[in-house]
Structure 1
Amino acid sequence: MLRAATDDDVDIIRRLRNQRANRDVSINSHEITADEHAGWWAKTSVDPTRRVLIYERGGTTAGVVNFFDLEGPTGAWGFFLDADGLAERGETLPAWIEVMREATAYAFDELGLEGLTGEVLEHNTVVRQMNRRFRFVEGTPEVRYADGRELTVIPISLRKQDRRAQGKKS
């Protein structure tokens, strides 16, 4: 289930984002400080071109979905899961499939987008494979530098008409 994030979620968003597994596959891999996070939330929570959603599984916060650059018929997105908690419960794969299904449905059905974009690091082969399963198309990779690392970042995109049929295997 996806729901809008509130001020009460700020600490858990930061805690999940700072999990090692999430930092390892993020462009900015440093540990987010409390002040840095508070500044981000102060801007994000009032930005009409952004949505931050909490992904809940079995009544427990299991991830965060960020939509941004929501202007016109397209928007961008990214998400991270409670890698540690889901792994402990043996729920990583089903949660991952569920959050992607719910987030793409939200983008196209709730936000009314025609196109959804994002980015993935080249070395994140597992996410790239899952993106392909959900019919995201990879664009031309580009090299960037962040947190003292050279990264190859791959843009991804999905058009509404190309998404997987909801509720059906395809």
Structure 2
Amino acid sequence: MNRQESEAHVLREATADDVHLMLSWRNQETNRHVSKTSHEITAEEHARWWSAVRDDPSRRVLMYVREDLPCGVVTFFDLRLESPRSGAWGFYLDAEGLDGRGETLPAWLGVMREAVEYAFDGLHLDRLDGEVLGHNTVVRQMNRRFRFVEGTPRQELSDGREITVIPISLARTDRRQR
């Protein structure tokens, strides 16, 4: 990817102006199906979440922007910025909009690349953790492509459904370089 292409795909801090987009994307069926919280999130729930995260030093909420168009959200949480530096992350995309434009795969690769770079080059983490649901085989394959390692699966009950949650992690020394 050349410099111009890289600048066309960026992460920026989310703002109050992004809250409605974040909620609409998070409530898309595709995203709810692969999330621990699968119910439709209300505006009140989302407002409480935004109020809690926007000034929390252990969290970052970023918008993924492609070609000047916001199309995804990356969250970093449980940030521990003393040595060893670690944190957890997750993301979701505007699945419906990207699918309609035929941009799902490039956006998915882009958001993962940008998020991993931000974690290690922006936050200077030593380890990046996350979770993936067991049935989400496509994301599990993509995680392996980015060199995330899966931990021991565990069963959880969430929103009235039993799910298999698989922890993932990526050490700074194991990450792919661009």
> In the alignment, which residue of structure 1 is the partner of 2:65?
56
Residues in 2 aligned to 1:93 and 1:123: alpha-carbon distance in whole angstroms: 19
> In the alignment, which residue of structure 2 is the partner of 1:93?
105
> In the alignment, which residue of structure 1 is the partner of 2:93?
81
Q: CA deviation at 1:98?
A: 0.6
Secondary structure of 2:64 counterpart: strand
Runs of at least 5 residues in structure 1 that lack an aligned partner in the other structure: none
Residues in 2 aligned to 1:87 and 1:151: alpha-carbon distance in whole angstroms: 26
Output the amino acid matched with 1:81: L
Output the amino acid matched with 2:105: L
Matches of residues 21-60 of structure 1 in structure 2 within 5 Å?
21-60=30-69
- 1:130-159 per-residue CA deviation (whole Å, 9 max, x = no partner) reads 000000000000000000000000000000
Matches of residues 16-165 of structure 1 in structure 2 within 5 Å?
16-71=25-80, 72=82, 73-165=85-177
Q: CA deviation at 1:3?
A: 0.2
TM-score, length-scaled by structure 2: 0.92
Residues in 1 aligned to 2:49 and 2:43: alpha-carbon distance in whole angstroms: 10
Secondary structure of 1:38 counterpart: helix
Output the amino acid matched with 1:122: G
Q: CA deviation at 1:59?
A: 1.2
Residues in 1 aligned to 2:177 and 2:67: alpha-carbon distance in whole angstroms: 24
Q: CA deviation at 1:61?
A: 1.0
**Percentage identity across paired residues of the two chains:** 64
Structure 1 consecutive aligned stretches of length 4 or more whose deviation exceeds 6 Å: none
- 1:55-85 per-residue CA deviation (whole Å, 9 max, x = no partner) reads 0111111100000001130000000001000
- 1:79-98 per-residue CA deviation (whole Å, 9 max, x = no partner) reads 00010000000000011001
- 1:2-44 per-residue CA deviation (whole Å, 9 max, x = no partner) reads 0000111111110110000000000000000000000000000
Residues in 1 aligned to 2:36 and 2:161: alpha-carbon distance in whole angstroms: 9
Output the amino acid matched with 1:121: L
2:15 to 6, 12, 29: 6
Output the amino acid matched with 2:143: N
Output the amino acid matched with 1:16: W
Output the amino acid matched with 2:168: I
RMSD (Å), alpha carbons: 0.5
Output the amino acid matched with 1:6: T
Secondary structure of 1:53 counterpart: strand
